[in-house]
Amino acid sequence: MLVRRLQAFETLAQVHTVVFDKTGTLTHDKLQLASVHVREGSSPETVLAVAGAMAAGSLHPASKALSSAVADRWEDWVLPRAEVISASEVAGQGLVADVVGWGRVRLGSASFCTAPINRTHGAESPRVYLADESGWLATFELDECLRSDAVEALAALKAAGVKTWLLSGDLPEAAQRIARLVGVDHVVSGATPEQKLLEITKLQAQGLKVAMVGDGLNDGPVLARSDTSFALGTAAPLAQANSDYVIQGGRLMDVPRALIQARSTMRVVHQNLAWAAAYNAISVPLALMGYMPPWAAGLGMAISSFWVIGNALRLNRAAVTDSV
C-alpha cells in the first residue's frame, strides 16, 4: 500500500464508517457482456458496434466490457464498424456522441438514456442502455463477480466496530445483491456523483469520521471530501490523485489492516507520550532539588528511550504476524 499523505494515518485511527463504491471496488473491474436486448427492427450486432465505438474512450468498467466485446467480434469479422464524430462523458451517467448514420446517441444508465427498466429479466445484473433520438435502442446485460477477499474485508471491519456503506450508481436490485453477498450495513443505490458527495457530507454532519474506498473517475469528489480515502491500484488516475492511500495489489483486506494498524499506532503513541510526561514530571523536579545525580538522570533517560523504542517495535511484530 502506498501512503500518499502521512497525516491521514492519524485520521484513519478515528474512522467510524467506511464507504465503498461497488463496480471495480467490491467487484472486479473487468465485466463481461452477457446478453443484448434491442428495439424491434434493430440488429444486436449493429447496436453493439455503436456502443463499442462510443465506449472505446471511457475508463468505466462497463465501457471496457463493451469495447472488449466489440474488439473480440471484430477479430472474427462479425460486427460492422461504427464511426463516432464526437463524444463526451457525463460523470456518473454515461456517454453522449454523434454517430454517423445514427445522429445523437446516448450510452449509460437508464435515467440518462430515458430507457425502460425490465425488472423481471436479469434484474440483479449490471446493465448499460443505449438510446438514439427515437428513444430506447438496446440494453446490454453484464456479468460481474466479487473480489475474492470482499466478504473477509467487510467482516474484519465489522469486527473492528466500523459501520459499512455501499454507494452505487447502479439499480437497487444490483446494489442490494452485492450488499447481501458481502454484508454491507447500509446501501444507497442509483446515486449520481453529486448524491454520493451529499451522502458523505450527511455522515460527517453526524460527527462520523468517514473513509471512502473507490476506483472510478466519478469517485474523485467523494474520495477528496472524505476524512480519509483509499483507491485501488487499478483506479483511474484522478481517483488515485484524490486518495490518501493507494492499494497497489487490489486487496480489500488492506483496508481493515490499515485501520487496525493505525489504531494500534496511535495507541502506542499515546502510551509513549504518557510515559514521557510521567518520567519528566518525576525526574526533572528530583534533579533540580539535587536528589538525582547526573549519572542517574542520564541512565534514566537512556532507559526511557529504550522503553519507548521497544514499545514502538511491538507494532512491527504485529504487522509481520498479520501479513503471515
Return d(Cα 301, Cα 84) in angstroms, integer. 73
Please list, in sequence order, all residues whose beta carbon lies within 8 angstroms of the beta carbon of residue 91, skipping any fewer than 6 positions away. Answer: 193, 217, 218
Strands (E), the chain: 2-3, 17-20, 32-38, 84-90, 94-99, 103-108, 127-132, 135-143, 163-167, 186-188, 210-214, 228-232, 245-247
Q: Is the dihedral of CA 157, 162, 163, 167 positive or negative?
A: negative
Return d(Cα 240, Cα 172) in angstroms, integer. 27
- List phi, psi (to 5°) of 299: -65, -40
Out of 21, 29, 170, 227, which one is annotated catalytic?
21
Residue 143 is a catalytic residue = no
Q: Which of 107, 126, 114 is closest to 54 using CA atoms?
A: 107
Could you list the active site residues?
Answer: 21
